[in-house]
Structure 1
Amino acid sequence: MPELAYANAETRLLGRTHVWWWDLPAHAVPADVVLLGPAELDRLRRYRKPADAAAYAATRAGARRALGSVLGIPAHEITLGRAACPGCGDPHHGPPRLERPGLPVAISISRTASRGVIAVRSDTAVGVDIEALRTIGDPSNDHLAQMALTPAEREALLDTPPGPRRDGLFLRCWTRKEAVLKAVGLGLVGTELNRLETHPRTSGPVVVEHTQDGPTTRWSVEDLDLGDRYAAAVARPHGPAPSGTHIHPHD
């Protein structure tokens, strides 16, 4: 890529979080599969359900198309890999990384039923999560709620009548937590979710503090509007207010 293209890409990304989303097909699309690398094709073949394979291929291809659009290069010239896990150093389950071209760009990818999303920032960490809205159990005795929520979060849910509002509030907590963990570079395994306070009564942005085997880090977390049937959030390092989050129009 010419130096001018690099400069233009970094200028477009600087100070903003960029988000793209796309719908996921029920069956694999050849135009998606052809964009995958060898390791991704190997993983694709291991999926047993066609819909799961199609969702994986479309998500990885969608991420490349989004990056290509902001970097000004064809999607097939983009190589995605993984950074080493910051918790254990394992290179096989760390956060996604832009390997080619070699730009200081942070990325985070997520998918749920029928929808995929990528968040991109220049030269800093970013995390994104999306979840399809669904019914949850009683937060006073539901195992997932007990495992995932802080006392203040459970109280907020119990103060909300059962139904879509309570379900949405739970998924607001969940997506905010996931977005922070992805920005940190850690997964759910070994993370005490019920110590990660997401302030669900506040519409956001909110500041979420994360502490695990090291110093406390602070993250600015913002809810994303990616459709009526979804909850989503994006996290970036907390600091001076950036120029905002830009959700790119869906093609």
Structure 2
Amino acid sequence: MALREEGAPGTAMAVAGALAARGEAHVWFWRPPEHTDPADLPLLDTEEFRRALSLPAERDAAAFVRSRAGARQALAGLFGLDPGQLVLGRRACPGCGDGSHGPPRLVVPYLPLVLSMSRTAGACVFAVGAGSAIGVDAEALRPVRPAAMTDPDLTPAERRHLAALPAGPERDASFHRIWTRKEAVVKAVGLGLSGTELGLLETHPARSGPVRVIHTHRGRTTAWTVEDLPLAEGVAVALARPAGPAAHGPVYRHADH
């Protein structure tokens, strides 16, 4: 039986409307468990359950399950809903129109919100916002190989910035700042990495942010406000929202370490 999109209860719709009016974004951070929590499994849909079973590493499966269950619990807590009744799906890809790999969305109940998710080693991040789009990306900090300094996905200015830094933690952090800013933007755009020439996406890593990042695809140019979120030690996180009023509201952080 096909799922039908339904309106949200009045309280949830009112909260969503207030969030949109203030241009808010909410970002949740979790440290995933080493093993799948059985309490999370009933919150997954059939396809998510199958995907979790297909992951060969228990740690990866546990992180995937926690991210999907955690997203429902976050939405439920924010809007006063039952997490077991929430249905997550995807928006159509803006590049090809395929509904199987577009940005995530809340299907049931309907609320005028945009969503984004990210997972990395030891971290899950989920973002909810007002406006037309939102993108979040997290990357666990790790040593950067010298070859990465000439990566074609970096702009000339980004390569010069990294080359001017001494090898070590400062350079590693700056590289991951660049990468999370790029990924946050392409997630917000909805095209993903394959739909973007990353080497043309200038992230201004020398600036602490927020920064304005310009994205162009097939002649269409969009502008994004991108900021770094210090949610946890050892993890770089960036949030992208459309440049303009939708990116001027506060960002509320919900960290569960």
Q: Same fold (TM over 0.5)?
A: yes
Taking structure 1 as the reference length, what is the TM-score of the superposition? Answer: 0.94
1:163 matched to 2:162: no
Q: CA RMSD in A?
A: 1.5
- More off after superposition, 72-81 vs 237-246: 237-246
The one-letter code sitting in structure 1 at the alignment partner of 2:219 is: G
Runs of at least 5 residues in structure 1 that lack an aligned partner in the other structure? none
Alpha-carbon spacing, 1:162–1:215, altered in 2? closer, same or farther (3 Å): same
| Structure 2 gaps, min length 5 | 1-7
Corresponding pairs, count: 248
**Runs of 4+, deviation exceeding 4 Å:** none
Paired position in structure 2 for 1:45:
53
Q: Which of these residues, 105, 112, 126, is aligned with residue 97 of structure 1?
A: 105
Matched to 1:74, the amino acid is D
Asked if the contact 2:29–2:256 (Cα under 8 Å) also holds between the matched residues in 1, the reply is yes
- Conserved 8 A contact 1:77-1:100: yes
Does 1:3 find its partner at 2:16? no
Counterpart residue number, 1:245: 251
Q: Note the C-alpha offset of 1:134.
A: 0.3
Task: Provide the residue aligned with 2:30 in structure 1.
Answer: 22
- Aligned to 1:34, the other structure's residue is in SS state helix
Match for residue 81 of structure 2? Answer: 73
Alignment partner of 1:248: what SS? Answer: strand
Of residues 71, 86, 96, the one that matches 1:63 is 71
What letter corresponds to residue 5 of structure 1 in structure 2?
Answer: A
Deviation at 1:144, TM superposition (A): 7.6
Q: Which residue number corresponds to residue 231 of structure 2?
A: 226
Maintained 8 Å contact 1:19/1:117? yes
Q: Report what 1:88 is aligned to.
A: 96
Matches within 5 A, 1:141-220: 142=147, 145-220=150-225
**TM superposition shift of 1:249:** 4.2
- Deviation of 1:243 (Å): 2.6
Q: Deviations over 1:46-105 (max 9, x none)?
A: 111111111100000111111111111121111101111111111111111110111111
Deviation at 1:5, TM superposition (A): 3.1
CA change 1:146–1:5 in 2 (3 A) is closer
Q: Give TM-score, length-normalised by structure 2.
A: 0.92
- Whether 1:131 aligns to 2:139 is yes
Quote the offset at 1:212 in angstroms.
Answer: 1.0
Mapped to 1, the partners of 2:16 and 2:197 lie a distance apart of: 37
